Amino acid sequence: MPQKLILVVEDNQINRTVLSGILFAEYRILEAENGQEALSLLKEHKDEISLILLDIIMPVMDGYTFLSIIKADPAYSGIPVIVTTQSGSESDEVTALSYGANDFVAKPYKPQIILHRVASLINLRETAAMINQFQYDRLTGLYSKEFFYQRVKETLQQSPEREFDIVCSDIENFKLVNDIFGVPAGDRLLCGVADLYTKFVSGKGICGRFGADHFACLLERHWEYNDKLFVEANALINALPNAKNVVVKWGIYNIVDRTVPVEQMCDRALLAARSIKGQYGKYFATYDDELRGKLLREQTITEGMEAALAQEQFVVYLQPKYSIKDGGLAGAEALVRWNHPQWGFQHPGEFIPLFERNGFITRLDQYVWEKVCAMLREWEEKGYEPLPVSVNVSRADVYQADLPDILIHLIQKYKLPPSRLHLEITESAYTENPGQIIATVNRLRELGFVIEMDDFGSGYSSLNMLNKMPLDILKLDMNFIQSETAKPADQGILRFIMDLARWMNLSVVAEGVETKTQLERLREIGGDYVQGYYFARPMPKAEFEVLLLEAAKASKEKAPHRAKLRAQQRPLLLVADEEESYRVQAQQTFGSRYQVVGAPDGASALAALDGNEHRVAAVVLSLTLPDCAGFNVLDQLVGMRDIWNIPVIATSPPSEQLEERALELGADDFVCKPYSQKSLWRRVMRTVGIRSSAQRERALEKEAYRDYLTGLLNRRGLSAACDPIREEDLPVAVYLFDLDNLKQINDTLGHLEGDGLIQRFGALLSRHTRKSDLLARYGGDEFIVIMQRMGDEQAALAKGEEICRVFRESCRTDRVPAACSAGIAVCHAQEPLADVIARADEALYRAKSDNKGGCCLWKG
């Protein structure tokens, strides 16, 4: 640190030199011979000068004049001044002090005294400056937190007869203002708020800022606080230039007991403000016994939560989900209940939000996941229907990087398919840092977990976001549905959401269904599953197991195709045929790819379509359904073509008339009975394939890169797949194989034989190479193999010889006397692949001319 700078103002050179000599070891010194000179030096160095040593009696401008000038100028008035006087001239000293000097020293100088006074004055000034900094909030100029506390204490002590309140405020979503409009805009808003506070409190109290968006003031109690006051204050704040719909919550602490520490008073006022966070239309709250009770209770809960987890006081309840269509049990949601040994059952609405705030939710969630997995395992072993159970995944869980590991570990531990565990992630979890959450949830989904979006409609997701969010099932928030069902059926946004879900191929679970009206409404607009008190309350495991048993019985007795709660439903293939054998065969043929639904007549065909239009891939429709229903169904399908374009493949025994009529009506294809399953498969694939043109294009693209005979890459595919040679892949071996005698075989045995030979060689190459190697059919009878990290020339040669030998041997038993030759080039440095191929080609040429059926390694 550089030494501090002292300005010595003294006309007499001897005195000046003596002073400078004394100070010289510890300070840097500027000297001035008179006041005038001192002022110009001061102007030049004002921020550096730590202290002025001033002689009073000087020519040109004496010390008093100099003092009055600098003490009147705020830029200099803070610099401490020590006046040098003659010993014994008390009047000089007094006059100097009255002019604003901070101290004096007498001539003849006593070095120790001078140094001491100089040091302590400089130190005092710096401390004062520091205190000043701490006293005021730098941004707004209000008192800082610590100093506010101090001032409140003083005020309370000085005015024992007056009554005061602490009023705190908290700007909701202030971070959002900073986020959206930038920190400078947020800062300007804070300054605006501070100004309002200053104006309002002026003369009645004091105010401070506690960091971020928390303001506090001490106000003398003159009134009852009412909404009007705070509504107005809120309006004033929102009228500030940088305020965009900010919501301010106020908390009041009435000071009654002055022995309560001021810090606690302010805390309590702030707690009161926070207690109404997010409550629309609530502007202020007073810290009172009720709030105190609530906070104390929260504290008790916090203290008891660890033990509760250890002692398994948390119990998993299950709330059944039912299929709207057939009323069957479709799954359950796991909900946690807290059975406290003294307090009894605790309301989740009380402890869950608290756990979400204090982070304990993560541990509780994991506990529930494990309990649920254990249940699923147990049911599996008891042979119950394998219904999925959904569990909550809190926002805090999603932020944990190892969430997928934790879940996978559980699934493996209890030997369950991941699809049995549905993960409910609340919509609002996506609002902060959506990128990361989407990535994590995507990963979970890839792992096979089924993602349900909880509370859909309650958050802020845009349609755009919804499209990016990885999910399988939408859960509609009950409040949302409750307000929606009150409206006329056609006007609801609910239908829109349902259509949206259909379009995104999502299932919809309506949660919190409590009345028959709600259910009817949901049925009307085509919801899939319901959950709610109207059907069943959350229940203990044992009770749910009774339902599981009943469901199993029911499904055996009457409804073999129960609508189990599924994630992404497989596309559906409807086979409407009066002959059971066709339906059964179709099930076998298409079962792996589609959910095949058979319908023996028109009515059941239409029933199966109803509500499933979005996922019907195709309909195989017998035109000879009983009661001529075939054409009726076709009519209906064609009739809704502008909404659901479902391809129809009509079937019937040979009848030109029926075939023509069906095609005329709009059937996409016709298959004549009796048909083979293979031909039906092709028809269905073709018809469906045309519909999904995007997929088809991808397939075509793939085809364009593949050699049709061998399935290896073709030349185009090779150049697309071939990245430039990378350093870490060296050495790279390039093989060119040439089938000897192919032309002869084609000529003598026909092209079919030749093609067969090519195919066999392709297959052989695949078997004798690694997955990472690139294989391509390079030309008619030429193949190229690129092997990375090949070791050395000898290894490359050995591999080539092995392939040639195996091929020769495989052909020996055949009637075709085939063999192959190979040219090999190994590259050890990064170079264009084409050059390496050219060398391999040279080597191949040599191999062929030397001895067919051999290998040649290129040598420079």
Partner 1 sequence: MSSFRECFEAYGANYDVTMERFMGNEALYLRLFGMLFADDNLQRLGDALAAGDITGAFEAAHTLKGVTGNLGLEPLYRAVCEIVEPLRSREERDYKSMHEEILAQFQRARELLDNLKEG
Residues annotated as catalytic (active site), given as ranges: 511
Q: What angle do CA 550, 554, 555 make, to 5 degrees?
A: 120
The mark string for 173-202 relative to partner 1 (x by CB under 8 A, - otherwise) is ------------------------------
Least distance (Å) from partner 1 to the CB of residue 121? Answer: 20
Q: Using an 8 Å Cβ cutoff, are 643 and 661 in contact?
A: no
Among 4, 5, 12, 753, contact with partner 1 (rule: CB under 8 A): 12
Cβ(667)–Cβ(648) under 8 Å?
yes
* Radius of gyration from C-alpha coordinates of the chain: 43
Shortest separation between residue 90's beta carbon and partner 1, angstroms: 12
Cβ closest to partner 1, residue 20 vs residue 428: 20
Stretch that binds partner 1, among 41-49, 105-113, 230-238, 389-397 (CB under 8 A): 105-113
Tell me: does residue 86 bind partner 1 (CB under 8 A). Answer: yes
How big is the chain, counted in residues? 860
Using CB under 8 A as the criterion, what x/- string covers residues 110-129 for binding partner 1?
Answer: xx------------------
Distance of CA 654 to the CA centre of its chain: 58
Provide the token pair at 821.
């030759």
Shortest spacing between CB 91 and partner 1, in angstroms: 8
CB of 80 to partner 1, least distance (A): 22
- Residue closer to partner 1 by CB (options 86, 517) is 86
Minimum Å gap between C-beta 84 and partner 1 is: 8
Which residue's CB is nearer to partner 1, number 15 or number 419?
15
Question: Please, what's the b/e burial string for 806-823 (b: 16 or more CB within 10 A of its CB; e: otherwise)?
Answer: ebeeebeeeebebbbbbb
Run of H or E residues at 390: strand 389-393
Identity of the residue, 38 or 171, whose beta carbon is nearer to partner 1 in the bound complex: 38
> At residue 120, what is the residue type?
S
What proportions of the chain, in percent to the nearest 5, are helix, strand and coil? 50, 20, 30
Residues 6+ apart with CB under 8 A from 663: 650, 670
Dig out the tokens for 504 from the structure: 């995104």
587: contact with partner 1 by CB under 8 A: no
Helix, coil or strand: residue 568? coil
State the residue for tokens 């987890």: 309
- Of 491, 451, 485, nearest to 468 by C-alpha is 451
Site string for partner 1, 306-325 (x = CB under 8 A): --------------------
Whole-number Å distance between alpha carbons of 665 and 466: 38
Please pick, from the candidates 7, 8, 11, 66, the single residue that binds partner 1 as defined by CB under 8 A: 11
Shortest distance in whole angstroms from residue 201 CB to partner 1: 54
Q: In this complex, which beta carbon is closest to partner 1, that of residue 18 or of residue 176?
A: 18
Nearest to 784 by CA among 771, 774, 797, 793: 774
Binder among 5, 57, 763, 795 for partner 1 (CB under 8 A): 57
Q: Tell me which of 4, 15, 570, 665 binds partner 1, using CB under 8 A.
A: 15
562: left (phi over 0), alpha (psi -120 to 50) or beta: beta
Q: Counting contacts by CB under 8 A, is residue 20 touching partner 1?
A: no
Nearest of 261, 332, 338, 335 to residue 306 by alpha carbon: 338
| Min CB(46)–partner 1 separation in Å | 28
Cα angle, residue 179 at apex, residues 176 and 181 outer, rounded to 5°? 100
Cβ proximity to partner 1, 112 vs 158, nearer residue = 112
Using DSSP's 3-state secondary structure scheme, residue 655 falls into coil
Sheet holding 214-220, edge to edge: 205-209, 214-220, 164-172, 247-254, 284-286
Give the nearest distance from C-beta 150 to partner 1 in angstroms.
44
**Cβ closest to partner 1, residue 109 vs residue 535:** 109
Stretch touching partner 1 by CB under 8 A, among 13-21, 286-294, 490-498, 545-553: 13-21
Among 46, 71, 107, 768, binds partner 1 (CB under 8 A): 107
Asked if 93 is part of the footprint of partner 1 (rule: CB under 8 A), the reply reads: no
Compare residues 27 and 430 and give the one whose CB is closer to partner 1.
27
Shortest distance in whole angstroms from residue 23 CB to partner 1 = 11
Which helix (H) or strand (E) element contains residue 285? strand 284-286
Which CB sits closer to partner 1, 58 or 429? Answer: 58
Q: Which of 40, 68, 87, 98 binds partner 1 (CB under 8 A)?
A: 87
Question: Which uninterrupted H or E stretch holds 501?
Answer: helix 493-503
What CA–CA distance (Å, rounded) separates 594 from 577? 17
- Candidates 5-13, 43-51, 144-152, 679-687; binding stretch for partner 1 (CB under 8 A): 5-13
Nearest distance, CB of residue 36 and partner 1, angstroms: 17
Give the tokens for residue 263.
Answer: 């810090």
Q: Which of 5, 29, 71, 89 binds partner 1 (CB under 8 A)?
A: 89
Neighbour tally for 717: CB within 10 Å = 20
Tokens of 778: 């390079």
Pairwise CA distance, residues 343 & 341, whole Å: 6
Indicate whether 21 belongs to the interface with partner 1 (CB under 8 A): yes
Strands (E), 90-184: 103-107, 164-172
Which of 2, 74, 108, 349 binds partner 1 (CB under 8 A)? It is: 108
| Residue 17 binding partner 1, by CB under 8 A | yes
**Does 95 interact with partner 1 (rule: CB under 8 A)?**
no
Q: Give the interface segment with partner 1, choosing from 84-92, 374-382, 390-398, 495-503 (CB under 8 A).
A: 84-92
Looking at the Cβ atoms of 22 and 152, the one nearer to partner 1 is: 22
Of 6, 7, 8, 22, the residue at the interface with partner 1 (CB under 8 A) is 22
Could you tell me whether strands 572-576 and 616-622 are parallel, antiparallel, or unpaired per DSSP bridges?
A: parallel
Q: Which residues are near partner 1 by CB under 8 A?
A: 11-15, 17-18, 21-22, 25, 55, 57, 84, 86-87, 89, 107-111
